[in-house]
Amino acid sequence: MKSPKLPLVELYTDGACSGNPGPGGWGFILRHEPSGKEIEQSGAERETTNNRMELSAVIQGLTALKRSCRVHLYTDSVYVGKGISEWMAKWKKNGWRRGNQPVKNTELWKQLDELIGRHDIHYHRVAGHSGHPENERCDELAVLAYQKFLGAS
């Protein structure tokens, strides 16, 4: 799967929550530079956590890909980045456990693990709320998505 012949795409993601837990949203931008094609998507949940929304943004972005790709993933989530690059291999080896406890958000991590297996992922950390245009747009998408739950009972 790790082939330079795979198409290269950029995936920018962000998650946001109003309260933690609380209403939350996710957003992503998926870009294929050679063709100029770009898509934006977002979604929300009534009661969730920021970490779940960060994971959901990556999962939804990778799910939008119709074939295997080299993916440059840009996220401000240390949780997602370290999970992918450092923690997930250990968690899998230990039956998705951290010490005596199950890994939080196991079902999302398993889903992400399956998607990562289809692609060649290159993780890039972006400083959140630092003026990075795509990160700011993903944050905007995520916030707009969860706002439909604010004030609703």
Q: Look at residue 62 in the predicted model and tell me its pLDDT.
A: 98
Mean pLDDT of 106-117: 97
Q: Would the CA dihedral through 16, 126, 27, 144 be positive or negative?
A: positive
**How many other C-beta atoms are found inside a 10 Å radius of the C-beta of residue 149?**
18
Q: Is the pLDDT of residue 99 over 70?
A: yes
Strands 22-32 and 8-17: antiparallel
Q: Which two tokens stand for residue 94?
A: 């230990």
Q: Categorize the per-residue pLDDT at 131 as very low, low, confident or very high, splitting at 50, 70 and 90.
A: confident
Share of the chain above pLDDT 70, in %: 96
Q: What is the CATH number of domain 8-149?
A: 3.30.420.10
Predicted model pTM: 0.94
Share of the chain above pLDDT 90, in %: 89
Q: Look at residue 151 in the predicted model and tell me its pLDDT.
A: 73
Interval 33-71: pLDDT, tens: 999 999 999 999 999 999 999 999 999 999 999 999 999
CA distances from 45 to 13, 85, 103 (A): 16, 27, 21
Residue 146 and residue 23: Cα distance in Å, rounded? 6
User: Which residues belong to the active site?
Assistant: 14-15, 54, 76, 129, 139
